[in-house]
Structure 1
Amino acid sequence: MSQHVRGVVARAKGDPVRVETIVVPDPGPGEAVVKVQACGVCHTDLHYREGGINDDFPFLLGHEAAGVVEQVGPGVTDVQPGDFVVLNWRAVCGHCRACRRGRPQYCFDTHNARQKMTLTDGTELTPALGIGAFAEKTLVAAGQCTKVDPAASPAAAGLLGCGVMAGFGAAVNTGGVGRGDSIAVIGCGGVGMAGIAGAKVAGASKIIAVDVDERKLKWAERFGATDTVDSSKTDAVEAVRSLTGGFGADVVIEAVGRPETYRQAFYARDLAGTVVLVGVPTPRMKLELPLLDVFGRGGALKSSWYGDCLPSRDFPMLVDLYLQGRLDLDAFVSETITLDEVEDAFARMHKGDVLRSVVIL
């Protein structure tokens, strides 16, 4: 039978979110119902509320989540009731041209649950990133459930579902940061901090944090930054070059998503270095670079979508690093809140007062 639970819904563009009763159906073939234990408040959820993703209101928000599988539908074998899982928004298909080439992290046909969760009047909900985890329970495709070590804190593990994986993967998977490399991270929000943490785990020798907020630069040191640059007071490109012997960093991560910071990243890298764009731009933004500079500087200009991750491979590994004390996921959790406090958490996030607020259920 379907279940009635509480969930955070965005009804219309810009309207404050509110907690409403959500109807969660029994899982169908290839689906699972997950009892949510924790869910991070991500900028993407705010983008949904503001109509920045699409206009498919009403939205059931929340996607950075961990919880326990409660029910599975027919044909599900990879997870079973009682499994502790982190939810992901890229359930790979196994059949597209990327999957057939052995590159499932680039799957071109990822999927979500086929059934819809609804309001009590039957109005269908659009779950954020196909998850909708600001709710006591949610319905997802079973492939969106990645089983991890249950010894991990749900509040910490859930953050792997989006921001931490995006930043960590941008450094390690997309940027290929390795031992002895230098890296600069422009933009020290949650994703940028995860890039810094990833670079530390990978053995980078020089990790430069760049931001305009002194508080974030202080936080960056906790995650592994060896140097900080306040780009509101100094030229970021010149500062990064100065800190790398005049050459520029081997890898520069742009975690803001703006043309001006991308240009900084482009010119702050060494010859044959790599730029990784993980910050999300808006549709109207344009980038202009001298084509001769693109040619003459060589190297690689990459975009990182979800940290080029394969959840089944990367989530358990990062949880193991966390349990070994090598990746401080707890440091990303600025505060824990309830479902009723999500709207206030959006305001704190928008002001830059927190890295992550985490809803505990």
Structure 2
Amino acid sequence: MSETMQAVVSHGPHDYRLEEVPVPTPGPGEALVRVEAVGICASDLKCYHGATKFWGDASRPAWAETEVIPGHEFVGEIVQLDDAAAARWKVGVGDRVTSEQIVPCWKCRYCQRGQYWMCAPHDIYGFKRRTPGAMAQYMIFPADALVHKISKDLPPAHAAFVEPLSCALHAVERGGIRFDDVVVVAGCGPIGLGMIAGAAAKFPARIIALDLSDTKLELAKLCGADVTVNISRQDPTQIVRDLTEGYGADVYFEGTGHPSAVLQGLNLLRKLGTFVEYGVFKDDVTVDWSIISDDKELDVRGAHLGPHCWPAAVRMLESGRLPMDRICTHQLPLADFQAGLDLVGDGTTSIKVSLLP
């Protein structure tokens, strides 16, 4: 193995560079992993453009530090680890593995209460120097990481989809779907398609998918949507009311990150309905909060990361029930990372874009 590797390194907004850097050396209890695929997330793109409004503090600097290798949705093969790591994670050299995107401290209040996905230091791969990401030929899994095996029968880009799928499944769990519910999913990108698949596994009465793209709506049907609505041509609120005797939807999942989708969801939910927010917003969102309180008494729930959903996401991918060949639209070499970011930014020709180091 060479002593150096290629990696994408963030030097600030609009300044990501392909560089030759040392191959990292695993410490006690850690693993060295050869990266097979890394997906480009919308949050990667927002970070690339210099976003500062993430995770609750608009006054702080950009949440991604500089001199960091990005990439938090990935799969790879273990090439080196010690006995302690092998015993803790029940893995060995040659296994294909993924790691949950957050590396918990296991010491803060949230970790001590089992709420590790809200860990106070919040070290997510690819955003801090302590946890370099996967846009590289090799990466380290720290000793505190959460690691899962995944089948080698899956193409690398499909296996790396386990991260956004786990996030989508967590959002579905937050929705508390019941068998007779009418469920609406706004946005049929990677997260929205995963929400539809997860919601379908709950077997509600009807799943309605909303998007501006007919291509994405076709994929939504393949993932389990019963009704699709192109909101550029149809009124989703009226359609939902017509399908629910005028009451409205029981559960609404917001996966677009667009402010208009928030008011849309508040309007098409029934009284006592549930609103689940997963999207990350670039702009402020302003709504009439009396809709939430005095008008409908809604349950509004956030969803963050994919806690406790990774094994289910692995099983769903391995089952073959998702149209992964059509979801994973673009696989590019690491050197073409800029083209990958541009594809995600355009949003009209791709669903999931991955780099294959």
Identify whether the pair has TM-score above 0.5, normalized to the shorter chain.
Answer: yes
The aligned amino acid for 1:78 is: R
* Sequence identity (%): 29
Deviates more, 1:125-134 or 1:136-145: 125-134
Classify the secondary structure of the residue corresponding to 1:170: helix
Contact 1:86 1:148 (C-alpha < 8 Å) held by counterparts: yes
Structure-1 separation of matches of 2:354 and 2:287: 38
Aligned pair in 2 of structure 1 residues 232, 112: CA closer, same or farther (>3 Å)? closer
Structure 2 match to 1:6: 6
Q: Distance in 2 between matches of 1:279 and 1:19?
A: 29
Native 8 Å contact 1:34 1:67 kept in 2? yes
1:118 corresponds in structure 2 to none
Provide the secondary structure at the position in 1 that maps to 2:276.
strand
Counterpart Cα distance in 2 of 1:332 and 1:75? 37
Q: CA deviation at 1:320?
A: 1.8
Structure 2 CA distance for partners of 1:28 and 1:74, relative to 1, 3 Å:
farther
Q: Structure 2: which amino acid aligns with 1:72?
A: L
User: Which residue does 1:196 correspond to in 2?
Assistant: 196
Q: Residue in 2 aligned with 1:146?
A: 147
C-alpha distance in 1, partners of 2:100/2:129?
11
Structure-2 separation of matches of 1:244 and 1:204: 13
Gap runs ≥5 in structure 1: 114-124
Using a 3 Å threshold, how does the CA distance of structure 1 residues 106 and 9 change in structure 2: closer, same or farther? Answer: closer
The residue aligned with 2:57 is: none
Q: 2:99 aligns with which of 76, 87, 90?
A: 87
CA 1:75–1:324 in structure 2 vs 1: closer, same or farther (change >3 Å)? closer
When residues 110 and 345 of structure 1 are mapped into structure 2, their CA distance, relative to the original with a 3 A threshold, is: closer
Higher alpha-carbon deviation: 98-107 or 229-238: 98-107
- Equivalent AA in structure 2 for residue 295 of structure 1: D
Q: Which runs of 4+ in 1 moved over 6 A?
A: none
Say which is worse superposed, 190-199 or 174-183, in terms of deviation. Answer: 174-183
Residue 10 of structure 1, CA deviation: 3.2
> What is the alpha-carbon distance in structure 2 between the residues aligned to residue 150 and residue 33 of structure 1?
19
Aligned residues: 342
Q: Which residue of 2 aligns with 1:78?
A: 88
RMSD between aligned residues = 2.7
Counterpart check, 1:357 vs 2:353: yes
TM-score scaled to structure 2, two decimals? Answer: 0.85
Aligned to 2:136: 135
Letter of the 2:36 partner, please give it: Q
**8 Å Cα contact 1:37/1:66 also seen in 2:** yes
Mapped to 2, the partners of 1:318 and 1:142 lie a distance apart of: 23
Q: Flag the 1:244–1:89 CA change in 2: closer, same or farther, 3 A.
A: same
Counterpart of 1:60? 69
Q: Secondary structure at the match of 1:60?
A: coil
Structure 2 CA distance, aligned partners of 1:228 and 1:279? 20
Which of 152, 159, 171 does residue 157 from structure 1 map onto? 159
Matches of 1:2 and 1:257, distance apart in 2: 41
| Secondary structure class of the residue paired with 2:207 | strand
Q: Which residue of 2 aligns with 1:243?
A: 243
Matched, 1:318 2:313: yes
5+ long unaligned stretches in structure 2: 53-61
Q: Which residue of 2 aligns with 1:294?
A: 293
Distance 1:73 1:93 in 2: 21
Residue 40 of structure 1 is matched in structure 2 by 39
1:254–1:128 CA distance, 2 compared to 1 (3 A): farther
Indicate the residue corresponding to 1:226 in structure 2.
226
Of 100-109 and 257-266, the range deviating more from structure 2: 100-109
What per-residue deviation string (whole Å, max 9, x for no partner) do you get for residues 282-313 of structure 1? 3x503231426423312310111114x23xxx
Contact between 1:18 and 1:340, CA under 8 Å: does it hold in 2?
no
Q: Does the 8 Å CA contact 2:169/2:313 hold for their aligned counterparts?
A: no
Provide closer, same or farther for how the CA distance between residues 350 and 105 of structure 1 changes in structure 2, counting only shifts above 3 A.
Answer: closer
Question: Per-residue deviation at 1:343?
Answer: 1.2
Q: Deviations over 1:11-36 (max 9, x none)?
A: 33224x43211223312244322111
Matches of 1:92 and 1:11, distance apart in 2: 25
Is the alpha carbon distance of 1:267 and 1:131 closer, same or farther for their aligned partners in structure 2, counting shifts above 3 Å? farther
TM-score of the superposition, structure 1-length normalised?
0.85
What is the SS of the residue equivalent to 2:93?
Answer: coil
Give the superposition deviation at 1:256. Answer: 1.7
Aligned equivalents of 1:354, 1:135: Cα separation in 2? 22
